[in-house]
C-alpha cells in the first residue's frame, strides 16, 4: 500500500472527499485535488463542507499521519498510480448530464501525467461517455498511457462511509481485465461481489439501479393513493409485499416522494438517453410524473383541511432530502415550500441539522420570507398546520398532543407516516398521512 499513490479529482465534493478519506485510511498515499481553495483550507482545519457520519474523524486522522493531502494544484497528481474522477455532472436544461467537468479533468490530467496511470471514472455519466473519452485519448496518442476504467459509485448520503467499507457490490468497466483487477485490488473487500464488465454496462448499471429504486418509491406511492380511497393502510401493505423474498422491503415506504441530488437527476438523464436514441420510456416517465404529483397532493391535503392557504401559517418540519444529512439539493421540501408561498401561506421551517449548518444561509437566500427556527415548538407556535417532510428520528419522538396546544388549528399532514392516525385523531388532532 505504501507504494500506491491515489489521486482524487473533485476531492472536496461528497463522493471525492469520502473516497479520499477512506483510501487514506486503507493506507494509500492519497492526494485530493479540487479547485475550491477556500473549501480545501477549511477541510485542512477540520471543517468539512457537509455532514457525513464518521467522515470528519477519518479526514483528521489521515491528515495527522500524512497519508492525505488536499491541494488545488493539479501538478501534485503527476506521479499518481490511480486517479479517480469525482467531479459533478449537473443536469442541463434538457435533462442531459453535463459532462464538461469530467472532460476538463481528463484534459488537465493528460497535461501533467508523467507515467502510465489508471484513470477511474467515478462520476455518474451517460452511457457512452467512457468510450468517447477513450476515443479522444486515442486520437491524442494517450490511450497507452492513460488506462480508462468506469467504476460507478453507490454511496448513499448519511451512510457513505459505511457504504464504502461494506458495499453490496463493486462494478468495474474496462477494456482490459488487468486494469479492472488493479482497481478491484484497491478496495479488496472480502466476500463482496465484483462485477467486471464493459464501460457501457458499468455506466448503465448505475443508471438502471437508481431508476429501479425510484420506480419502487413511485409504485408504492401509487398504491398508497388507492389505500386512501378504500381505507387501506400502506404500511401494512408494504410490509406484506416486502416479506416476499423476490421483492424485499427496501424503498417501499410511501410518502412525499424521492428527491436529492441523485435519483431524480439520474432518472431524468436516463430518460434523455432514451430520447436521444429515438426510444420512448413510458414506465420511467410515469415514475417521474407520480413523484412530482406526490408533492402537489401533500399541499392539496393542507388546502382541504384549512379551506385554502391564503393567510394561513404552515410549519414545515424537515428540509433536507433525507434524515442524516444537511443536503438541500433538489430536496422535495423546496418545491413544497415554494407552492405554499405561491398560494399565500406564511411558512416557518425547522430542520435539526440544516438550522445549525452552512446550508441555513443558502436556504435563507432562497426563501427570504421563510422563518427558519431552532425548535419544533417555534415552528408549531401559532400555526394553522404542520407538514412533516423529512423522517428525522427526532420527529418520531414528538409529543404531538402536547404540541397541538401551541397551534391555532391542530392539523398535521405527515408526508413520512411517522405516527398512527387513530391515536392522534382520538386526541383531537386532524391528522393525515400518505396511504394511511
* pLDDT tens sequence across 77-114: 999 999 999 999 999 999 999 999 999 999 999 999 98
At 147, give phi and psi (nearest 5°): -100, 115
Q: Region 231-256: what's the mean pLDDT?
A: 97
Q: Same structural domain for residues 286 and 155?
A: no
The whole model's pTM is what? 0.92
Grid cell 401494512 in the structure block, residue: 236
Q: Same structural domain for residues 330 and 418?
A: yes
Q: Same structural domain for residues 246 and 395?
A: yes
Kindly report which listed range (237-251, 299-313, 336-350, 413-427) carries the lowest average pLDDT score: 413-427
Kindly report which listed range (67-71, 166-170, 187-191) carries the lowest average pLDDT score: 187-191
Residue 226 contacts residue 428 (beta carbons within 8 Å)? no
Domains in the chain: how many in total? Answer: 2
User: How far is residue 396 from each of residues 10, 38, 276, 333, 392, measured CA to CA in Å?
Assistant: 36, 38, 44, 18, 7
Kindly indicate the confidence band of residue 2, based on its pLDDT and cuts at 50, 70 and 90.
low
Q: Same structural domain for residues 259 and 178?
A: no
Give the pLDDT of residue 201: 98
Question: In the predicted model, is pLDDT for residue 189 greater than 80?
Answer: no
Mean pLDDT score of the chain: 95
Rounded Cα gap, residues 155 and 170, in angstroms: 11
Grid cell 413511485 in the structure block, residue: 218
Q: Region 354-367: what's the mean pLDDT?
A: 93
Question: Is residue 202 in a domain?
Answer: no
Q: Same structural domain for residues 38 and 64?
A: yes
| C-alpha dihedral sign at 345, 226, 422, 351 | negative
Question: In the predicted model, is pLDDT for residue 427 greater than 90?
Answer: no
DSSP state of 281: -
At 272, give phi and psi (nearest 5°): -65, -30
Instruction: Select the more confidently predicted residue: 158 or 188.
Output: 158
Question: Is residue 80 in a domain?
Answer: yes
Q: Same structural domain for residues 163 and 34?
A: yes
Question: In the predicted model, is pLDDT for residue 422 greater than 90?
Answer: no
| CA 178 to the chain's CA centroid | 32
Q: Is 262 a catalytic residue?
A: yes
Give the pLDDT of residue 423: 85
Kindly indicate the confidence band of residue 374, based on its pLDDT and cuts at 50, 70 and 90.
very high
Residue 102: domain span = 5-197
Rounded Cα gap, residues 397 and 389, in angstroms: 15
Q: Same structural domain for residues 307 and 185?
A: no
Question: In the predicted model, is pLDDT for residue 412 greater than 70?
Answer: yes
User: 107-129, pLDDT tens digit by residue?
Assistant: 999 999 989 999 999 999 999 99
Q: Same structural domain for residues 241 and 365?
A: yes
Question: In the predicted model, is pLDDT for residue 1 greater than 60?
Answer: no
Q: Region 176-204: what's the mean pLDDT?
A: 93
User: 7-57, pLDDT tens digit by residue?
Assistant: 999 999 999 999 999 999 999 999 999 999 999 999 988 899 999 999 999
CATH (domain of 49): 3.40.50.720
Q: Same structural domain for residues 265 and 401?
A: yes
Q: Same structural domain for residues 388 and 287?
A: yes
What percent of the chain is predicted at pLDDT more than 90? 93
Rounded Cα gap, residues 131 and 141, in angstroms: 15
Task: Give me 185's grid cell.
Answer: 485490488
Residues comprising the chain, all counted: 436
Amino acid at each position: 500500500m505504501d507504494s500506491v499513490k491515489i489521486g482524487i479529482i473533485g476531492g472536496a465534493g461528497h463522493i471525492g472527499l469520502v473516497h479520499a478519506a477512506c483510501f487514506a485510511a486503507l493506507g494509500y498515499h492519497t492526494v485530493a485535488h479540487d479547485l475550491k481553495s477556500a473549501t480545501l483550507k477549511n477541510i485542512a482545519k477540520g471543517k468539512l463542507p457537509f455532514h457525513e457520519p464518521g467522515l470528519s474523524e477519518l479526514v483528521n486522522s489521515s491528515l495527522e499521519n500524512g497519508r492525505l493531502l488536499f491541494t488545488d494544484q493539479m501538478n501534485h497528481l503527476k506521479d499518481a498510480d490511480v486517479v479517480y474522477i469525482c467531479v459533478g455532472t449537473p443536469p442541463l436544461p434538457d435533462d442531459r448530464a453535463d459532462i464538461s467537468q469530467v472532460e476538463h479533468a481528463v484534459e488537465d490530467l493528460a497535461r501533467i501525467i508523467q507515467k502510465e496511470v489508471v484513470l477511474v471514472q467515478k462520476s455518474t455519466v451517460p452511457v457512452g461517455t467512457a468510450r468517447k473519452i477513450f476515443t479522444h485519448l486515442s486520437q491524442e496518442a494517450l490511450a497507452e498511457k492513460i488506462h480508462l476504467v468506469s467504476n460507478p459509485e453507490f454511496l448513499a448520503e448519511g451512510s457513505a462511509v459505511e457504504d464504502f467499507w461494506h458495499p453490496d457490490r463493486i462494478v468495474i468497466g474496462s477494456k482490459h481485465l488487468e486494469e479492472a483487477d488493479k482497481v478491484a485490488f484497491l478496495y479488496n473487500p472480502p466476500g463482496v461481489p465484483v462485477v467486471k464488465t464493459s464501460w457501457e454496462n458499468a455506466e448503465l448499471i448505475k443508471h438502471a439501479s437508481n431508476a429501479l429504486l425510484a420506480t419502487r418509491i413511485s409504485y408504492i406511492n401509487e398504491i398508497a393513493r388507492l389505500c386512501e380511497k378504500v381505507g387501506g393502510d400502506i404500511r401494512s401493505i408494504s410490509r406484506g409485499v416486502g416479506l416476499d423474498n423476490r421483492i424485499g422491503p427496501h424503498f417501499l415506504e410511501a410518502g412525499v416522494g424521492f428527491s436529492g441530488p441523485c435519483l431524480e437527476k439520474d432518472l431524468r438523464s436516463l430518460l434523455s438517453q432514451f430520447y436521444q436514441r429515438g426510444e420512448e420510456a413510458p414506465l420511467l416517465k410515469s415514475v417521474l410524473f407520480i413523484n412530482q404529483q406526490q408533492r402537489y397532493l401533500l399541499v392539496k391535503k393542507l388546502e382541504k383541511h384549512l379551506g385554502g392557504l391564503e393567510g394561513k401559517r404552515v410549519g414545515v418540519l424537515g428540509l433536507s432530502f433525507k434524515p442524516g444529512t444537511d443536503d438541500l439539493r433538489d430536496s422535495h421540501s423546496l418545491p413544497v415550500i415554494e407552492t405554499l408561498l405561491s398560494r399565500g401561506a406564511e411558512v416557518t421551517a425547522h430542520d435539526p441539522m440544516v438550522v445549525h449548518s452552512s446550508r441555513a444561509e443558502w436556504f435563507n437566500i432562497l426563501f427570504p420570507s421563510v422563518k427558519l427556527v431552532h425548535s419544533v415548538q417555534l415552528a408549531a407556535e401559532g400555526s394553522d398546520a404542520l407538514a412533516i417532510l423529512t423522517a428525522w428520528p427526532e420527529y418520531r419522538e414528538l409529543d404531538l398532543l402536547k404540541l397541538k396546544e401551541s397551534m391555532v388549528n391542530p392539523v398535521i399532514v405527515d408526508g413520512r407516516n411517522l405516527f398512527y392516525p387513530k391515536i392522534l385523531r382520538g386526541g383531537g388532532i386532524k391528522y393525515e398521512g400518505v396511504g394511511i
